[in-house]
Amino acid sequence: MLKVVPAGHDQHLCAFPGCTRQVVDRTGRPGRPSSFCDNPLHTYSRAYDERRKLDKAAAKAAAKAAESAPEPSSTPVTSGVQALGELIALLPELEGRFAAAVADARDLIADITDPQALAAEVEHLRSEARLQVAQAQAAQARAERQAVLLQAERDDAVLARKLAEGAADEATAERDEAIARAEQITADCEREITEAIGLRDAQLAELLTQLDTATERAARAEAERDAAVRETESAKGWARELQTMLDAELDKGRERVQELHARHAEALAAAHQQVMDMVREMREEHAAEKTTMRIEFKEQQLIMCQQLGLSTPPRPAPSTSGRPATVKDGTI
């Protein structure tokens, strides 16, 4: 799975915004390679929150710059074309932020649903349970051998027989206690496995919530794109009004004004076409990304269900808001 990172980012450096430390080397360990340094605070969720803070700060700075912008000049068409160019330059940045958020969500899903890591954890718990059961069985075997020896010595004398019977009863009690401990250990292991599965489901629910947030950000980006298109149409209206004024006041310079109008109309048409092309590409990429994420999520869900012994994956509940179904009570 390829991760989308900002241009110029060193793959060997921590992916947390502003951190320049080396990532942790996980060679030979199960799971995906790490994208962060050894700082325990540098995680996917904290990196996502930090990017949101940086985005809000950038938005405030842009709003402040817009408030301090100079009054409209005597050349509104040229100014409109310049402003439109700035909006077009801002679209790739918004696209990069959305792609980074989607990549973080995909990495979190891959980490939580990594079958190797889950299998390794379950195998570790089972190994500990088997070891403790083996120790209990060994203790039981020792107690049984001791009981056999005491049974053989009972024939020597009545007193020895009574002592042997007492020792046999004690050994039996020890054996029963060892069996009870083994059963308790097995129950504890099963409970820990159940808790681990519940924790995994909770993390998956949190991840789906973050995915909903990323979808909302994409919707806001699309709204900003629509605003840019409206500003383009407004710029065309300004050009038509300017043409009318120039035709009325500058009859002698009609040919020159018409030539200037043609240049501006061509520039506006080219800019409008560029915006439409970028919008179409963003929609196609966004749709392809969502389709890929759904397919990968279903594949990972099927693998997890097979490992947990489920015959079929749980079906997602219908959603009336158009968002992906969230995890509730252990089902999707």
Q: How many CA atoms lie within 13 A of 151 on its CB side?
A: 9
Residues 6+ apart with CB under 8 A from 180: none
pLDDT at residue number 250: 66
pLDDT tens track of the chain, all 332 residues?
334 344 445 567 888 888 888 888 776 666 567 778 888 888 877 888 888 888 888 777 777 766 655 555 566 667 667 767 776 777 777 777 777 767 766 776 766 666 765 676 677 778 877 888 888 888 888 888 877 776 666 656 666 566 657 777 887 888 888 888 888 888 888 888 888 888 888 888 888 888 888 888 888 888 888 888 888 788 788 777 877 776 767 676 667 667 777 887 888 888 889 889 988 988 898 899 889 999 998 888 888 888 887 655 555 555 444 444 443 444 33
Calculate helix-pair angle for 76-112, 254-308, nearest 10 degrees: 10
The whole-model pTM stands at 0.25
Structure tokens at 273: 């076409």
